[in-house]
Amino acid sequence: MGLNIGMSREEVLNFADDNDLIKVPKNRDVEFFPVEDRKILSFSVLPEIPDMYLQFYDDKLYAITVIFNEKYIDYYTLIGVLENKYGPYAELVPEWRKWQIEEIEIRVEKPAVVKYIALDEFIEAAGFESQSTTSGKERKEMILEGL
């Protein structure tokens, strides 16, 4: 639709204001996080997309969650479109399918949700520790020794 990971909050708002399809509610800021440098904007494209959430960290868009109305666009339609655009999925579980395009993870989740996430920015914004360099076998031994 023209929204891209890495855009500034102002670029996103200007794009939304110029796009007739996107509805920007008066109270467009959603405050899920008390942290100052993490913001979420809420948009919609009615009736197909009742909710679209755009997450920012340090004023850069790092995650987009698009919730589709299943009456108009369903899970299997979304999968078909993404397979045509990005090729075969990288991972499959019963609830979702995932594509990895460079540093961007794209997930289609049931019932009809698409998520675009810049993983490095997400990990930094979420405050997760980096993964341990300890191998799986070593981790298992350490855990079992601790019993």
Q: What is the tens place of the pLDDT at every residue in 128-141?
A: 665 555 566 777 77
3, part of any domain: no
Q: What is the pLDDT of residues 39-49, one digit of tens each?
A: 889 999 999 99
83, part of any domain: yes
4, part of any domain: no
Instruction: Tell me the pTM.
Output: 0.81
100 vs 16: CA distance, rounded Å: 26
Choice between 131 and 38, residue whose per-residue pLDDT is larger: 38
Q: Where is average pLDDT lowest: 23-27, 29-33, 62-66, 142-146?
A: 29-33
Q: What is the pLDDT of residue 48?
A: 96
Q: CB count, 10 Å around CB of 25?
A: 11
Q: What is the pLDDT of residue 141?
A: 77
Residue with tokens 């800021």: 29
Q: What is the pLDDT of residue 116?
A: 97
Q: What is the pLDDT of residues 89-142, one digit of tens each?
A: 999 999 999 999 999 999 999 999 999 999 888 877 777 665 555 566 777 777
The alpha helices in 1-147, defined as continuous H runs, are 9-18, 75-86, 119-126, 136-145
> Considering its fold, how many domains does the chain have in total?
1
Range of the domain at 130: 9-145
1, part of any domain: no
Q: What is the pLDDT of residue 120?
A: 83
Which pLDDT band, with edges at 50, 70 and 90, does 32 fall under?
low
